[in-house]
Structure 1
Amino acid sequence: MVHAAETSLKVLLEGTKQYLVPLYQRTYSWSRQQHVRLWEDVLKLAEDRSVDHQTTHFIGSLVLAPAAANGPAGVQQFLVVDGQQRLTTLSLLLCAIRDHRGESEGANHRERLNEQYLINKWEKESLRSKLLPTQVDRASYQSCLESTPHAGAGDPIGKAYNYFRSQLRQPDEAGNPIDLAAVEDAVIQGLSLVCVTAQAGDNVHRIFESLNNTGLQLTQGDLLRNYLFMRLPSRGDKVYSNLWLPLQKTLSSDELETLFWLDLVRDDARVKRTDTYNRQQVRLNRLSGEDAIEAAVKRFARLGTLFAVILHPEQETDADVRRGLQRLYSWDTTTVYPLLLHLLDQRDTGAADSATVARTLTIIESFLVRRLLMGRATNNVNRVLLGAVAELRANRPLDEAVRDYLSTGRKYYATDRELLEGIEHQSFYFNGAPHQRALVLRWLEEHLGSKEPVNLSNLTIEHVLPQTLTAFWEQALSTGLEADETVEDVHSQVLHTLGNLTLTGYNSELSNGPFDKKRTVLATSGVRMNQEIAENEVWGRAQILARAAVLAQRAVSIWPGPSSQSPSGASELWQLLDSALTELPAGSWTTYGDLAALIGTHPVPLGMRLSTHPAPNAHRVLQAGGTVSPGFRWPNPDRDDDPLQILRSEGVTIDDAGRADPGQRVTVEELAELVGLSTDGLQVLPDLAPGQDRARRDRFLGQLTTANDISVVNGVLRLLDRWTADGGELVYGNNAQTSCFPVVRTPLNRENAPWPVAIYPAGKVEVVFKHMASRPPFNDLAMREEFRLRLNAIDGIDLSASKIQLRPSFPLDVLSDEKAVEQLADAFSWFLQVTWQANS
């Protein structure tokens, strides 16, 4: 049962009382903006009360609970369950008024205000202050209360006191001194609060939790701290001083929240940050007694010290571990944190030594770098790393256990062969994040061990063969062209590969210039890899491929591969393709669509694969009408024989129009039987709506398949098929990385059509709130917020409310999950529906 009543500061503070801010409350955090608003309200109230002394101004509520030790006499103590920021600020304002009036009008004002509203003069020291803030704030508040030389320090308490002191010295708008008596009267009697008082025996923490567990006022870490100290009624002060306060000084509020989340993720990778408090509370509810709760706080404090080393690797004392942590910190992916925390925890408890931890850090780095080099930088990497700790094999050395975990399943820990192929063919310039690409080049350079090292952090990535072809470079690439091959073909094949990229501080000077000019600059560079490039007299496809091979061998020696060098999950798709083509009998043929349906991809990337990689019986794959694809080419440049002639020789009937006999076509069901697969659920994936440009669409699909796991590719295809089936259209970008935009064109809005997301094949989906804001109905903030909430209901998507005006993103590999695809498609259908309603 609670009692609520409107009251004033005079009623609250007069008499022998003390208001205690519990340990579970956050520290004082009001800012200058809130101080200014309160002061302006006080001045206005003082002016209004000079006309009508009954005028009041409501400033909010205060929730109190009587302390358990209260008796019929003595100081009545109350716990401040809610409203401590407000009560602390008003007390500091009274301190400022007291000091200003004491200096300008006489010492009697100091004594009067102290004894009436700020202190219990005749009580012992612990009960003397009418307000007792949290431990962190007490010293600063006490300085203000006692007017010591330290009053007004640089912390939030001191800043509030200083602000009010400075404002009291300012003249009013007419240039006259502020009427101090009127200001004091307005604060003491004119400000109105609703005071809600709980009854003895009420669960104070439960009241506090119900007021604050909205996610808006307190962080997940705040709520957990509050819960812990509610469970420490007799030891709270000691545990707070000895364990919690050092932890709170070591980590920021956000870092603390991350720590509590990481602690959960080590056991269950599915835990969301927003569930941190509830899941930790479930754990702690199993503990009984203050000994167990104190041990839990001690464990958090120990983990916090380890987490601080992850965030600040320079604190690590072992040189090899420090280097590994620094490199992973530079990689900038928080998904490694649970695994890193586990490594340091194992060492701290004696289960591993520093040498083992250092080797394990190298394995983690190798896993990330090799994925990047083979074009799988983002595919399921979050889930792989977040789930690592729970999946590690027990009774194995830590480095071996981590390597085995990363080497099994479809985690894309590239083998040496895959690494060599990826470096030669992958468009490295679009893999991963820009800073990660630069790091790989820096680490390759550092491996050369220059005796005169340069500051590589200031260098940027340079294309030796430039992105814009000039007459010089067209001539350079024309040498060695194969049949039916163009300069543009060669340019697009090698431009963004690792073999054509380096680091330099002279991008503007090098630009699109001819190689002899670039060679002169590169030869004088302090970067060893640039000197290696300058050793070439010309620069074209042959030189780029040769350098790619050198860099690949260097990468193999720097970054160890998986425990098994058998092909990873990335090759399973193409292994099935080769198996199906091997089983395809002479005298028959099949289509790109049939094969794509069999292995679970789209016909366009499958065709690209067959044109660039040797495969058995590739000439037996035709277009749906039985004709040879115009883009068909033999991967072996020495072959120029006609595929139709080979088909005829094998027994396929070809008509005068060059069409194969439909009766000799092997369907997808028959292909499945040939390779021993079940035909349940096989279906030919429908072609996508062409959008603006079929060539761009095909480029998008090719990049999508190259950069992602097949489950992600199929998820994207299902999502886009659903979008077009619901009436949406697809538009494709014209940059080197071809993005896809699902747009809504209505009869009344063709030119300013909105779109919900931009899909980037390299690994992210960007939610374009910024663009929606100028397009109805999403120019209404409430509609954008509704869309954000619908997206956040999907596992793997967590878009911050603070980015509702920006373009936040989520990983493309969310679409590897069928349920997530369906949920996202439903959210897109809602987007379509409300857009049509607003624009039709």
Structure 2
Amino acid sequence: MNAFKSNIFEYMNGIRQYSIPIYQRVYSWGIEQCQRLWADIVMMQKENHEGHFVGSIVRIDEVSAAGFPKAMIIDGQQRLTTLTLLLIALRDFIKNNNTTTEINAAEITDTLLINSYKRDGDRYKLLLTKTDQEMLKKLIESIAPNRESVSKILSNYEFFERQIAKGDLKADEIYQAIGKLQIVDIALDRQYDDPQAIFESLNSTGIDLKDSDLIRNFILMGLPSGRQEFVYNNVWIHMEELFSYGDKAVLMDNFFRDYLTMKLGRLVNQRDVYKEFKLYRNIYWNTKTEELCRDLLAFAKHYADMDSGESSDVQLKSLYIDLKTIGLGVAYPFLMKTHEDCANNIISVTTLLEIVSICVNYALRRSVCSMRTTGLNYMFAVLKNSINESDYLNSVKAFFILQESSKEFPRDKRFIDEFVTQDVYSKKICRFILCKLETWNGHKIVSLDDLSVEHVFPQKPKASEWGVVQKVLLHTVGNLTLAHWADNSSMSNKPFSDKLTISQGYKQSALRLNEYIVEQSEWGETQINERARRLAELAMKVWPYPMLADKELEPYRKLDDSVTQYTFESYGNSDGFTKILFESLNLRILNLGTVISRVFNKQYVAYKLDTNFADVEVQKQRLHIWVNLRFIEVADPKGICRDVSGIGHLGNGDVEVYLDGLNKLDDVMVIIEQAFRKQNAE
């Protein structure tokens, strides 16, 4: 590696051509970064500064077959492109305005923008990726661009046009200031330098790279130069195109996290995606980078289909929309696995449909029962580890059936009780529930698109009508339906008799939801409860509980460490003092929240929400505690914690602490509560 102090004039004044590798992200600086650069230029000139450092540009030098020097830009595309746009804007201002200046517009073009004696692509000093290069070429060649085009190249050029035209600085001053902008020119040696390692370590002042940017560079930069373009054009670009339905960078970051979670069978934190991906690639794929890219493409197709709600299969498409409506993105890692197994003929499409339906039903029932979503990401991350490929569907059903406590799949009795009594109207999925009840089993004889949720007994009744309905049953499912007039408050607050007979009223409605309603002559507590019961019976069919016979379930029952197997007395090395310590600590931990579950394991007591947040080993005359936090995360005002991240230990987490006296209980709880709060918020 060689590093040189330079500026943009020295850097571009030669015949070397700088190109952006095909795998680099497109030009992404926006107006904010351009404003910062322009402010630096104005300040530098007004305050007569000697110079201003704008960052480094990292390159790998190459030579064409004809001996033409070229360089591939590893880092610095954004600032190099932006400075080029500023030079073009300055050149055009000088050329198009009668202004007194010592700067020659043609000289800017011939020395800093083009190689006059080269043709076609070799003509340009800076060669960007395809879409960006077309716009940059027009600006360099003074070809009028389409001003309606959506292009950061064009919008940033126009920004500099406006700033120069304001006249805060004269053209000569701007040119001088550009020459004072200092860069560090870093040239890598292919034989000795690792471009990717250097790329990762650079502290850019521009827009932070996304995980998807880092992963793309890591994958493609590691390929021989002859294979980079082939893999990008034939595999990688097709994967990126799958995510064009939204914010591509965010969607791809989410995909890579879920892909790793699925492959590794454990939860991968978003902050660790790039680090985890590098380890995964090096351990499991090693020299098979192209095969890894094809694997990514296959799973990206499944992911994008689910997330965008698109499928050629009508039933799958409907289920994908259900997944999105309910908000069950945490199931994507598991469902990507089942989709790929279907593609590989390990399971049938029918089995795939049933598995996706089980996930939807699980989430819907839990939502109706107001159960917490905390920990479901972990549960779905490890679900694939429970699949028995020789008994695929039953093993998935068994997994859900055997979930308990905070992960329980609500059984029929609980679901019915909650479905009838819950305030369904306040739930985000209220309309979804009503529409599904209406259209279940192919029943759809009207369009639901223009229907809104309607209270049969009005939300604003006459004072004489107030009572148990208004106080208890108003927002329950028995009093809710779909109607055309629901946005019209004067209509929706009419008496029940009017709602039956008015135009577009219940009797004119073809909705299944209104079949019971139109049979009634009055509407009150009795009718609401009866209708709720009928809808609950239908809801059990729409969102059924997975069923297995006892003999089918039995192989999947596991003996686990539970309170029936172990108690405090199982830890025989303790004494009376330790029991006092434990009972005091146990009470304080359980008082943190009613959602905490405690499990007496063989070697320690676990306290958990979705996973363990604290594990307590009972020792003679003290308690040995592990807290599920990274050591760098813990706030330890008394200095009582030890970092055990690199040491073998029983419990979960990197933080170890001891309790050997009641006077230290408050200090220990400060540490434990941090892990509880973190897990409770996720």
TM-score range, shorter chain: 0.7 to 0.9
Q: Give the TM-score normalised by the residue count of structure 1.
A: 0.60
> In the alignment, which residue of structure 2 is the partner of 1:482?
none
The answer on whether the counterparts of 2:44 and 2:52 sit within 8 Å (CA) in structure 1 is no
| Aligned equivalents of 1:550, 1:377: Cα separation in 2 | 27
- 1-side partners of 2:141 and 2:50: how far apart? 30
- Which amino acid in 1 is paired with 2:36? R
The answer for the alignment partner of 1:230 in structure 2 is 221
Distance 1:287 1:558, change over 3 A: closer
In the other structure, the counterpart of 2:546 is: 562
Q: Percent identity?
A: 23
1:49-68 pair list within 5 angstroms = 55-67=49-61
The residue aligned with 1:193 is 183
* C-alpha separation in 1, matches of 2:44 and 2:373: 58
C-alpha separation in 2, matches of 1:830 and 1:422: 33
Deviation of 1:540 (Å): 4.5
Residues 389 and 463 of structure 1, relative CA distance in 2, 3 Å threshold: farther
Equivalent position to 1:552, from 525, 536, 540: 536
Measured after TM superposition, the shift of residue 48 of structure 1 is: 6.2
Decide which of 199, 205, 227 is 1:208's aligned counterpart: 199
Bigger relative CO (Cα 8 Å, ≥ 6 apart): 2
Relative distance call for 1:461 and 1:223 in structure 2 (3 A) is farther
* Aligned CA distance change for structure 1 residues 56 and 305 (closer, same or farther; 3 Å): farther
SS in 2 for 1:403: helix
The answer on 1:359 being equivalent to 2:354 is yes
1:278-333 CA distances to partner (integer Å, 9 max, x unpaired)? 1111121136776x2122122222322332222222x4112222222222222222
For the residue of structure 2 that corresponds to 1:138, the secondary structure is helix
Match of 2:134 among 139, 142, 152: 139
* Cα pair 2:388 2:395 within 8 Å, conserved: yes
The unaligned stretches of length 5 or more in structure 2 are 554-561, 572-578, 600-606, 613-629, 636-650, 658-667, 676-682
Contact kept? 2:3, 2:184, Cα under 8 Å: no
| Distance apart, 1:2 and its partner CA | 4.5
Find the counterpart in structure 1 of residue 642 from structure 2. none
Distance (Å, rounded) in 2 between the aligned partners of 1:680 and 1:216? 56
Q: Corresponding residue for 1:14?
A: 13
Picking from 74, 79, 82, the partner of 1:86 is 79
Q: 1:421 to 1:46 in 2, by over 3 A?
A: closer
State the match for 1:427 in structure 2.
422
1:278 is paired with a residue of what secondary structure?
A: helix
C-alpha change, 1:330 and 1:830, in structure 2 (3 Å) is closer
Backbone CA RMSD of aligned residues: 4.7
1:448–1:528: 8 Å Cα contact kept in structure 2?
Answer: no
Return 11-20 or 459-468, whichever deviates more. Answer: 459-468
Structure 2 SS opposite 1:434? coil
Match of 1:242 among 215, 234, 239: 234
Query: What CA deviation, in whole Å up to 9, does each residue of 1:52-107 have, x standing for no partner?
Result: xxx44414111324425599x9554444333221111111222233334344469x
- Alpha-carbon deviations, 1:636-666, whole Å to 9, x = none? xxxxxxxxxxxxxxxxxxxxxxxxxxxxxxx
Matched, 1:269 2:252: no
* CA shift in 2, pair 1:686/1:306, >3 Å: closer
SS of residue paired to 2:424: helix
C-alpha distance 214-552 of structure 1, shift in aligned 2 (>3 A): farther
Measured after TM superposition, the shift of residue 340 of structure 1 is: 3.0
Name the aligned partner's letter for residue 84 of structure 2: S
Taking structure 1 as reference, are residues 468 and 389 closer, same or farther at Cα in structure 2, changes over 3 Å only? farther
| Counterpart selection for 1:116 from 111, 131, 149 | 111
Counterpart of 1:813?
A: none
Residue correspondence of structure 1 range 251-400 to structure 2 within 5 A: 251=243, 252-267=248-263, 268-286=265-283, 292-313=288-309, 315-376=310-371, 378=373, 380-397=375-392, 399-400=393-394
Q: Residues 465 and 539 of structure 1 are in contact (CA less than 8 Å); yes or no, is this contact kept in structure 2?
A: no
Change in Cα spacing, 1:231 to 1:451, as seen in structure 2 (3 Å) is closer
Equivalent residue letter for 2:16: K
In structure 2, what is the Cα distance between the partners aligned to 1:390 and 1:213?
Answer: 40
Does 1:406 pair with 2:400?
A: yes
Q: 2:477 aligns with which of 498, 504, 507?
A: 498
Cα deviation for residue 554 of structure 1 reads 0.7
**Any conservation in 1 of the 2:29–2:206 contact (CA below 8 Å)?**
no
Retained in 1: the 8 A contact 2:458–2:492?
no
- The within-5 A match list for 1:792-831 is 826=670
Deviation of the 1:127 alpha carbon: 4.0
Cα deviations by residue, 1:703-741 (Å, 9 ceiling, x for unpaired): x67xx9898xx868xx9xxxxxxxxxxxxxxxxxxxxxx
Q: Separation in 2 of the partners of 1:378 and 1:171? A: 55
Q: Could you tell me how far 1:369 is from its partner in structure 2?
A: 2.1
Deviation at 1:266, TM superposition (A): 1.1
Q: Does the CA contact (< 8 Å) of 2:242 and 2:300 recur in 1?
A: yes
Instruction: Tell whether 2:465 aligns with 1:472.
Output: yes
Using a 3 Å threshold, how does the CA distance of structure 1 residues 443 and 822 change in structure 2: closer, same or farther?
A: farther
1:225, CA displacement in angstroms? 0.9
Inter-CA distance 241–216: structure 2 relative to 1 (3 Å threshold): same
Contact 1:470–1:512 (Cα < 8 Å) also in 2: no
Deviations 1:85-144 (A, max 9, x none): 1111111222233334344469x9454222211123334655432222345533333333
Q: Structure 2 CA distance, aligned partners of 1:70 and 1:272?
A: 44
471 and 357 in structure 1: CA distance in 2 versus 1, 3 angstrom threshold: same
Q: Is the 8 A contact 1:344 1:357 kept in 2?
A: yes
How has the CA–CA distance of structure 1 residues 417 and 448 changed in structure 2, closer, same or farther, with 3 Å as cutoff?
A: same
Equivalent residue in structure 1 for 2:519, among 510, 519, 535: 535
**How many residues matched?**
588
The one-letter amino acid paired with 1:269 is R
- Cα distance in 1 for partners of 2:408, 2:460 equals 30
Residues 455, 481 of structure 2: 8 Å contact kept: yes
8 Å CA contact 1:247–1:304 kept in 2: the answer is: yes
Greater Rg over alpha carbons, structure: 1
Q: Following the alignment from structure 1 to structure 2, what is the Cα–Cα distance between the partners of residues 67 and 328? A: 50
Shift of the alpha carbon at 1:364? 2.1
Partner of 1:726: none
Q: Aligned pair in 2 of structure 1 residues 374, 154: CA closer, same or farther (>3 Å)?
A: closer
Counterparts of 1:437 and 1:374, CA distance in 2: 13
What is the alpha-carbon distance in structure 1 between the residues aligned to residue 461 and residue 55 of structure 2? 66
Deviation per residue, 1:237-264 (Å, 9 max, x gap): 2222222223223320111111111111
Matches within 5 A, 1:715-754: none
User: Any unmatched runs of 5+ in structure 1?
Assistant: 50-54, 478-487, 570-598, 601-671, 690-696, 720-785, 792-816, 832-840
For the Cα contact (< 8 Å) 1:428–1:496, is it kept in 2?
Answer: yes
After superposition, give the CA deviation of every residue in 1:530-564 in whole Å (9 maximum; x if it has no partner): 45235334445443332232112211222232123
> How many Å separate the matches in 1 of 2:449 and 2:206?
43
CA contact (8 A) 1:464 1:502 kept: no
SS of alignment partner, residue 19 of structure 1:
strand
Name the amino acid aligned to 2:180: G
Comparing 440-449 and 210-219, the one that deviates more: 210-219
| Residues 442 and 456, structure 1, Cα contact 8 Å, conserved in 2 | no
